[in-house]
Amino acid sequence: MALHATVVMLASLVFSGFVNVAQSQAPNTDVDLLNLVQNMEFLTAEYLLYGVTGLGLDAIAPELAQGGPPPVGGRLAFLDPFLKDVYFQFALQKVGHLRAIRSVAPGIPRPLLNISKNLFADFVDATLGRRLVPRFDPYANSLNYALGFYGVSYFAPTGYVGISPELQNSTFKRLTAGLMGVEFGQEAVTRSYLYERRNHLIASYNVTVTELTNGLADLRNTLGGVGTISEGLVVPPSEGAEGRVSGNVLAGNNDSLAYGALPRALLRILYGGGDEHVPGAFYPKGANGRIAQSYLNSPMS
- Summarize pLDDT for 28-77 with one digit per residue, the tens: 589 999 999 999 999 999 999 999 999 999 999 999 999 999 999 999 99
Cis omega (within 30 of 0) on the bond before 134?
yes
Which residue pairs from 247-252 have beta carbons closer than 8 angstroms and sit at least 24 positions apart in sequence? Answer: 247/195, 248/195, 249/188, 249/191, 249/192, 249/195, 250/188, 250/191, 251/191, 251/217
pLDDT in the model for residue 298: 80
pLDDT in tens, 263-281: 999 999 999 999 999 999 9
CA 109/CA 128 separation, integer angstroms: 34
Burial of residue 159 (number of CB atoms within 10 Å: 0-12, 13-18, 19+): buried
| Amino acid (1-letter code) at residue 270 | L
Q: Where are the domains of the chain?
A: 3-235+263-296
- Give the whole-number percent of the chain exceeding pLDDT 70: 90
- Give the whole-number percent of the chain exceeding pLDDT 90: 87
CA 282/CA 42 separation, integer angstroms: 11
CA 226/CA 249 separation, integer angstroms: 23
What sign has the CA pseudo-torsion 154, 157, 158, 163?
positive
pLDDT in the model for residue 300: 66
CA 117/CA 283 separation, integer angstroms: 14
Nearest of 258, 254, 269, 268 to residue 296 by alpha carbon? 268
CA 54/CA 77 separation, integer angstroms: 8
What sign has the CA pseudo-torsion 251, 254, 256, 258?
negative
CA 204/CA 197 separation, integer angstroms: 16
- DSSP letters along 65-81, please? GTTPPPPBS-------H
CA 127/CA 269 separation, integer angstroms: 12
CA 279/CA 161 separation, integer angstroms: 23
